């Protein structure tokens, strides 16, 4: 008999594989016209190409409060390695899918592992994300956050303000 796992795993007598959903089993929500327009702006496409320009194939990064793990697999492919089972994560992946489509980038969801949330995490996330949506960041705050998350300059490279510029795509 399988005992309950405090990390959100299988419950008594449940097959551990029944809790896992991967790739084609993900049901991403349809975006509203407003969200789709936002996801396909030039700024969103430039952001995505900037991310791909900074990372090497195989590099991983966490997005959406660390609830989504993405991996650059090639110049024009991003793999979703893991997503937590939270509605906001699926919405974010739908937004990312729209941005990728507009940019000509492949978003690979075939082997995405869905990780269940632990008890109480969904309420905490709802509160946290609602608080963030209620504030409108000033451009300086957005820029400072981007610069803080960028990679350090390569050895011997010059990067006076800590910000790495992505590649140009023609």
pLDDT in tens, 109-142: 988 999 888 888 888 888 877 766 655 444 333 3
Torsion of CA 139, 44, 37, 78, to 10 degrees: -150
CA 96 to chain centroid, in Å, comes to 8
Q: Strand 113-115 vs strand 106-108: parallel, antiparallel, or unpaired? A: unpaired
- Per-residue pLDDT reduced to its tens digit, 69-102: 999 999 999 999 999 988 889 999 999 999 999 9
Listed residue (59, 52, 103, 98) closest to 81, CA to CA? 59
For residue 7, pLDDT beyond 90 = no
Percent of the chain with pLDDT over 70: 62
Q: Is residue 163 a contact partner of residue 147, using CB atoms and an 8 Å limit?
A: yes
* pLDDT the model gives residue 126: 81
pTM above 0.75? no
All structural domains of the chain with their residue ranges: 19-116
Strand, coil or helix: 40: coil
Mean confidence (pLDDT) of the chain: 73
Q: What distance, in Å, lies between the first and last C-alpha atoms of the chain?
A: 58
For residue 45, pLDDT beyond 70 = yes
For residue 63, pLDDT beyond 80 = yes
């Amino acid at each position: 008999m399988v005992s309950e796992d405090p990390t959100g795993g299988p419950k008594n007598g449940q097959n551990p594989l029944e809790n896992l959903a991967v790739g084609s089993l993900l049901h991403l929500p349809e975006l509203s016209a407003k969200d789709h327009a936002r996801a396909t702006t030039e700024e969103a496409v430039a952001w995505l190409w900037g991310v791909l320009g900074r990372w090497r194939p195989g590099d991983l990064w966490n997005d959406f409060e660390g609830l989504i793990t993405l991996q650059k697999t090639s110049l024009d492919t991003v793999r979703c390695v893991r997503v937590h089972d939270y509605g906001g994560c699926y919405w974010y992946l739908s937004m990312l899918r729209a941005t990728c489509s507009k940019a000509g980038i492949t978003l690979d969801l075939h082997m995405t592992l869905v990780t269940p949330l632990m008890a109480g995490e969904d309420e905490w996330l709802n509160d946290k994300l609602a608080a963030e949506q209620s504030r409108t960041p000033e451009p300086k705050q957005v820029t400072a956050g981007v610069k803080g998350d960028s990679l350090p300059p390569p050895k011997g490279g010059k990067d006076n303000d800590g910000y790495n510029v992505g590649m140009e795509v023609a």
